[in-house]
Amino acid sequence: MPTFIIARLTFLEAVRRRIALAAFLLGLAFLILYGAGFYFITRETGVPTGSEPTAQLVRSQIFNFLTNAGMYAVNFLTLAMGALVSADTLAGEIGSGTIQALVTKPVRRAEIVLGKWLGFAGLLALYLLLMAGGVLAIVYLQVGYRVPNPVAGVGIIYLESLLIMTISLACSSTFSTLATGGTIFGLYGVAFIGGWVEQIGTLLRNQTAINIGIVSSLIMPSEALFRRAAFEMTSATARALGMSFGPSFVISVPSGAMVVYAALYLIAALAVAIRQFSGRDL
Partner 1 sequence: MTAFALETRDLRKEFGDNVAVRSLSLQVQQGEVFGFLGPNGAGKTTSIKMLLGLVAPTSGTATLLGAPLGDRAARAKIGFLPEHFRFHDWLTAREFLTLHGQLYGLPSARLRERAAELLELVGLTPFQHKQLRTFSKGMLQRVGLAQALLNDPQLVFLDEPTSGLDPVGRRLVRDIIRDLRDLGATVFLNSHLLSEIEITCDRVAFIKHGEVIRVTDLKTIVDGETSVTIRAGGLTPEAVAGLSQWGRDVRADGDHITLTVTDDSALPAITRHLVAHNAEVYALTPQRLSLEELFIQIVGTDGGL
Of 96 and 255, nearer to partner 1 (C-beta) is 96
Stretch that binds partner 1, among 33-41, 253-261, 262-270, 274-282 (CB under 8 A): 274-282
| Burial class for 186, CB neighbours closer than 10 Å (0-12, 13-18, 19+) | exposed
Which residue type does 99 have?
I
16 belongs to the binding site for partner 1 (CB under 8 A): yes
Alpha carbon distance, N-terminus to C-terminus of the chain: 23
22 belongs to the binding site for partner 1 (CB under 8 A): no
In DSSP notation, 199-256 reads: HHHHHHT-HHHHHHHHHHHHH-THHHHHHHHHHHTS-HHHHHTT-EESSSEE-----H
Give min distance, CB of 6 to partner 1, in A: 8
**Contact string 107-146 vs partner 1 (x = CB under 8 A):** xx--------------------------------------
**Euclidean distance between CA atoms 16 and 41, whole angstroms:** 38
Stretch that binds partner 1, among 101-109, 142-150, 183-191, 245-253 (CB under 8 A): 101-109
**Euclidean distance between CA atoms 241 and 249, whole angstroms:** 11
56 belongs to the binding site for partner 1 (CB under 8 A): no
Of 58 and 103, nearer to partner 1 (C-beta) is 103
Any idea of the CA torsion for 27, 33, 37, 40, to the nearest 10 degrees?
140
Give min distance, CB of 99 to partner 1, in A: 9
How far is Cα of residue 77 from the mean position of the Cα atoms in its chain?
A: 7
Which residue type does 63 have?
F
5 belongs to the binding site for partner 1 (CB under 8 A): yes
Give min distance, CB of 169 to partner 1, in A: 18
Stretch that binds partner 1, among 92-100, 167-175, 191-199, 249-257 (CB under 8 A): 92-100
Give min distance, CB of 98 to partner 1, in A: 5
Of 43 and 108, nearer to partner 1 (C-beta) is 108
**What is the number of other CB atoms lying within 10 angstroms of the CB of residue 136?**
21
For partner 1, the binding residues (CB under 8 A) are 2, 5, 9, 12-13, 16-17, 96-98, 100-108, 279, 281-282
